[in-house]
Amino acid sequence: MPEKRIILDQIDNPNSASIDFYMSLGGYTALKKAMGNMSRDQILGEVKASNLRGRGGAGFPAGIKWGFIKPDAPGPKYLVCNADEGEPGTFKDREILQKKPHIMIEGMIIAAYTMGLDAGYIYIRGEFYEPLLAVDKAIAEAYQKGFLGKDILGSGFSFDLYTYRGAGAYICGEESALINSIEGRRGMPRLKPPFPAQNGVYGRPTTVNNVETFAAVPSIINNGGKWYADLGTPKSGGTKLFSISGHVQRPGVYEIPMGTPWKDFFYDICGGVKDGKQLKAVIPGGSSTPVLKPEELEGMTMDYESIASKGSMLGSGAVIILDETTDMVKLLNRILHFYAHESCGQCTPCREGSDWFYDIIHRIYHGKGREGDLDLFENLGKNIGPNTICAFGDAFVTPTLSFIRKFREEFLAYIKRSDSAAG
């Protein structure tokens, strides 16, 4: 099954980021259609019919989320685009931001019009300097064409859009931590409820979606929700961007229909394992998702339900390929170093647990492992994930336990070498 480029259509053209090139491809016709020929309920109905699910990792249906805010609710209301792409292994949103920002901006304007929102923020990862420049330029172009600002396209609807540069905190990918950061507070998650739809940016109703989610909206409005839904599976409509890296022949960002067989994606599109080596494992959705062994990939398709049935998650769509040479202890040591560094420190189980997890794996990797260390991981994990405000605890506990359970002998070998050295 080949790629199905909708969001990524013409993205390799050197002029893909400009508004004139985007409009030559039909850009902003969806906005004109939405504002000129459709009611807000009709737009919302098409998004719901599309089965578009949030592309940031959670997979929550976009149409349902958009329905949480009433357009006639009094007072200011806000839209936020989560462009804080920080999950290790993920680099799909960066492509849109830098090379095709107008498809995201058009989707945001349609979303804002549908929900009656007053202003929007694109919260962009601090390290994304070139994508930030591209987005700022695209916003200026959209203002010049009359797609942003007062009385857009004579509709009476006004919407302003701003970029907000993050400071490089992984935790700000969580929507309430992101909102705190926009407000100038420390990037720490909030207790829920209340949810952003009731109490978001500056205490006002707010909707937060991912870059790729907004980028899917124009094609849904132009072609209809059913058209988009039929591209994917009954529960996961449309196409999905996957960033694939590691020991793969053709790494990169690919757009494929939801439900594409794993084998078609990995072997036919991406070329299989690099240098003819054997496949050892796959992390299917970024470093926070459980690892899968080759035999677990049999019959898997690239969608939320199928990957979940195999014991992992689609997550952000970051596929990491590990060949037979991979040292799983060394890899886990690197992953846990990242999570220990990125804990915001708000929850005691997460703050202490992330450091504790890293201390244990660091000892094992450096020849100082102890008998009982692997059981200690299991016991600690039970007291971390369920007892934190956000999902960060699960983000390092879940992959750790999957590494240990599926490659236990590798970890035991390190510990046995430690015992031998001590003896």
The predicted-structure confidence for 319-360, as pLDDT tens digits, reads as follows 999 999 999 999 999 999 999 999 999 999 999 999 999 999
User: 422 pLDDT exceeds 60?
Assistant: no
What is the model's pLDDT at position 318?
Answer: 96
Alpha helices in 82-148 (DSSP H): 92-99, 101-115, 129-144
Quickly name the fold that domain 239-323 has: Ubiquitin-like (UB roll) (3.10.20)
Mean pLDDT of all residues in 213-229: 97
What tens digit of pLDDT does each residue of 365-402 get?
999 999 899 999 999 999 897 889 998 999 999 999 99
- Residue 287's SS3 state is coil
For 106-205, list the strands marked E by DSSP: 119-124, 160-165
DSSP secondary structure letter of residue 300: -
Other beta carbons less than 10 A from residue 294's beta carbon: 11
Give the model's confidence band at 1: pLDDT under 50 very low, under 70 low, under 90 confident, else very high: low
Confidence of residue 300 (pLDDT cuts 50, 70, 90): very high
Instruction: List Cα–Cα distances, 73 to 115, 201, 272, 417, in angstroms.
Output: 10, 15, 52, 65
| Pairing mode, strands 119-124 and 160-165 | parallel
| pLDDT for residue 317 | 93
Residue 3 has pLDDT above 90, yes or no: no
**Overall average pLDDT of the 137-155 stretch:** 97
Residue 198 burial (CB count, 10 A)? 14
Residue 94 has pLDDT above 70, yes or no: yes
For the chain, the domains span 19-231, 239-323, 328-422
pLDDT band, residue 20 (cuts 50/70/90): very high
- pLDDT tens per residue across span 103-144: 999 999 999 999 999 999 999 998 999 999 999 999 999 999
Give the whole-angstrom CA distance, residue 172 versus residue 158: 28
Task: Quote the pTM value.
Answer: 0.94
Half-sphere exposure of 138 (CA within 13 A, CB side): 31
Closest to 225 (Cα-Cα) out of 97, 53, 92: 53
C-alpha distances in angstroms, 278 versus 217, 253, 290, 293?
39, 22, 20, 12
Q: Classify burial at 184, counting beta carbons within 10 Å of its beta carbon; exposed 0-12, middle 13-18, buried 19 or more.
A: exposed
Cβ proximity of 128 and 247 under 8 Å = no
Output helix, strand, coil percentages for the chain, rounded to the nearest 5: 50, 15, 40
Q: For residue 417, what pLDDT is reported?
A: 83
**Whether pLDDT at 284 is above 90:** yes
Average pLDDT of the segment spanning 56-79: 89
Query: What CA–CA distance (Å, rounded) separates 328 from 313?
Result: 19
The residue among 121 and 58 whose pLDDT is bigger is 121
Torsion from C-alpha of 358, 364, 366, 367, nearest 10 degrees: 160
One-letter amino acid identity for 352? Answer: E
Average pLDDT, the chain: 94
Tell which residue, 304, 298, 301, 319, has the closest CA to residue 254. Answer: 319
Q: What is the mean pLDDT of residues 26-40?
A: 95
May I ask the CATH architecture of the domain 19-231? 3-Layer(aba) Sandwich (3.40)
Q: Span 1-16, mean pLDDT?
A: 91
Q: What's residue 420's pLDDT?
A: 62
Among all chains, which residue has been given the structure tokens 């859009």?
Answer: 161
Phi, psi of 169 (to 5 degrees): -100, 120
**At a CB cut-off of 8 Å and minimum separation 6, what does 310 contact?**
292, 296, 297, 300
C-alpha to C-alpha distance for 323 and 421, rounded to whole angstroms: 29
* Per-residue pLDDT, 387: 87
When pLDDT is averaged across residues 254-263 and rounded to a whole number, the result is 96
- Above pLDDT 90, what percent of the chain? 89
Domain 328-422 adopts which CATH fold? de novo design (two linked rop proteins) (1.20.1440)
